[in-house]
Structures are given as structure tokens and as C-alpha cells.
């Protein structure tokens, strides 16, 4: 994966952290898919920029703040990346903090985001991306 694409992903995490959904959606293909963690009850798949927006807006209603910090890029080739992300959340209401590591598998085509899948385990993410440690 090019440094340019890695920069695009970093910019996306930064935009999401500050709640700038419009900036986060830049480069999302009209056919893109976002798959929630399979461990989430009633995990859903969101499609296209409108679906991504719906996911982000619903999630932001539940949090006071969140920070998405990409800690490690595990790269294979131009169209696949696995990113280890440190996620810090403070929920609305009780302000319960969540400190979690997640792994995102990105599939891109011509620098456009086609798919995001989230995992709690690195091995599962690597397997989903067709990579191995």
C-alpha cells in the first residue's frame, strides 16, 4: 500500500475522531460496505456513503467523545490493509470509558474505499484479508 493510501486512512481516522463525517466519507465508493464487529449484537452491514453516514451518526449519538488512533499498519498490496486501532470512547449519560483495540480490514480500489470489516482479534483480521503473520 502506498504512503498516499496510508495517509488517506490516517486522515479518515482523524476525521472520525473529531466527528467530521463529511471528511471521513471522502473517497468512499458508492458501492462500499462497512461491516460492524460480528461480536456486536445485531451486527449490520452499511452500504455506500449514506450507509456509512447512518452508522457514524448513530454511533455518535451514543458517545460524548471518541478517538480512533491507528497504531500499526499491516500492509500486503495496493488494495488491502489491516490496521490495528486503539479506540477510546466515553459514553453519553454515565460517561463510561471504553478502551479497546480493534483491527480493521480495508479493501480499496483506485484509492477509493470499497470495504471495511472490523475484528477484535488480529488473527481473524489477517485471515479475512488473506494474510498471515
- When pLDDT is averaged across residues 79-88 and rounded to a whole number, the result is 94
Sheet containing 97-109, strands listed edge to edge, beginning at the edge strand earlier in sequence:
45-47, 28-35, 112-119, 97-109, 80-91, 63-77
Q: Are 27 and 35 in contact (CB under 8 A)?
A: no
pLDDT at 1: 59
pLDDT at 132: 67
pLDDT at 64 over 70: yes
What residues make up the domain containing 105? 3-129
Q: How many domains is the chain built from?
A: 1
CA angle 73, 77, 81 (to 5 degrees): 35
C-alpha 97/C-alpha 94 separation (Å) is 9
CATH of residue 54's domain is: 3.10.450.50
pLDDT at 7 over 80: yes
In tens, the pLDDT along 11-63 reads: 999 999 999 999 999 989 999 999 999 888 889 999 999 999 999 999 999 99
Amino acid at each position: 500500500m502506498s504512503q498516499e493510501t496510508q495517509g488517506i486512512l490516517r486522515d479518515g481516522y482523524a476525521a472520525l475522531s473529531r466527528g467530521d463525517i463529511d471528511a471521513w466519507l471522502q473517497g468512499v465508493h458508492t458501492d462500499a460496505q462497512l461491516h460492524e464487529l460480528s461480536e456486536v449484537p445485531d451486527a449490520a452491514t452499511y452500504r455506500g456513503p449514506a450507509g456509512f453516514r447512518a452508522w457514524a451518526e448513530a454511533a455518535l449519538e451514543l458517545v460524548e467523545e471518541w478517538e480512533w488512533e491507528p497504531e500499526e499498519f499491516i500492509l500486503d498490496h495496493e488494495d488491502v490493509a489491516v490496521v490495528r486501532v486503539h479506540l477510546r470512547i466515553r459514553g453519553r449519560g454515565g460517561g463510561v470509558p471504553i478502551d479497546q483495540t480493534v483491527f480493521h480490514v480495508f479493501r480499496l480500489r483506485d484509492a477509493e474505499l470499497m470495504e471495511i470489516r472490523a475484528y477484535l482479534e488480529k488473527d481473524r483480521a489477517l485471515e479475512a484479508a488473506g494474510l498471515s503473520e
